[in-house]
Amino acid sequence: MNETLAAMPLSSDVASAMAQWLTHLGSERRLSPKTLIAYERDARQFLVFLASSRGEAPSLASLAALKPADLRAFLSERRQADVGSRSLMRQLAGLRSFARYLERTERGEAAAFTAVRGPRVSRTLPKPISAVAARAVTDADLRAGEDKPQWVLARDAAVFALLYGCGLRIGEALAIALKDAPVDGRDSITVVGKGNKMRSVPVLAEVSAAVAAYLALCPFRLVPGEPMFRGEKGGPLSARVIQLAMQSLRGALGLPASATPHALRHSFATHLLSRGGDLRAIQELLGHASLSTTQGYTKVDAARLMAAYDAAHPRARAG
């Protein structure tokens, strides 16, 4: 967290309420630690803005007396600092959550926060890459000409295999412990996704082979309960390293900038659907809470949805 934000003194009632709100989000709503850090940072930024404009740290009473214009002024200042619409939407969502918590615990009002409309965010559909390209990035030999140790190339290929072959998020793949590695006949893995939700995902033989190849070459002593993927100095592997590896592969394969590690997860879902996979089954594999999110991932078109409707809806069959 920014040192200025972390050091900003809060009034005792606001500090207490914020601490209880974050505890509530973590224990009852089961939000991830990263989300909690982002929410705390966003709330502090708003409180810094209020303190700067009013000359004193805001109290719960002053928060309850806020007007929509106060919140609009804050969002305007953030916009002038080149903060994007998606970040502003997330920040507004966090502030609304805090305001609703204050209202539920009878310590304030949320009217000003609910009265302000968030910035418009253009919806961009994910862009999966072709099956041929997706399989290519899981081939360690494709980068044989790079000045990288063979175990590093095998490691990156194994991560890409998990992203494309299992539809994992990059954080989910990098968190897999050695004791849970999909090798030695293990044909499924249990991953912890957003909101600490656990799901079981089947593992193809090709993915297991890629992971086994990495483990056989890894020069470090791996501990069963710790993440199996390691950086070049032996520490936990960073997502940034995998992003840079994908950037290198984009150049080798002539792929667009949209071909990111996360695009492999999109590709997993899209390719499954194109081969007749059930949309709800794909939803479970991806760990999505909403079917609409899965539809976005798979670029489901209107014709495919209408075909599913015609095949499954009682009224459609009756017609």
Rounded Cα gap, residues 160 and 173, in angstroms: 9
User: Dihedral of the CA atoms 32, 38, 40, 42 (nearest 10)?
Assistant: -150
φ/ψ region of 290 (left if φ > 0, alpha if ψ in -120 to 50, else beta) reads: beta
214 three-class SS: helix
- CA dihedral for 253, 254, 259, 263, sign (positive or negative): negative
DSSP state of 184: T
Rounded Cα gap, residues 191 and 172, in angstroms: 6
In sequence order, what DSSP letters do the residues of 230-297 get, joined into one string? Answer: B-TTSSBPPHHHHHHHHHHHHHHHT--TT--HHHHHHHHHHHHHHTT--HHHHHHHHT-S-HHHHHHH
Q: Which residues have CB under 8 Å from 142's CB, separation 6+? A: 136, 249, 252, 253
Among residues 129, 159, 133, which one has the least CA distance to residue 243? 159
31 three-class SS: coil
**Catalytic positions, written as ranges:** 169, 194, 262, 265, 288, 297
- CA dihedral for 10, 11, 17, 19, sign (positive or negative): positive
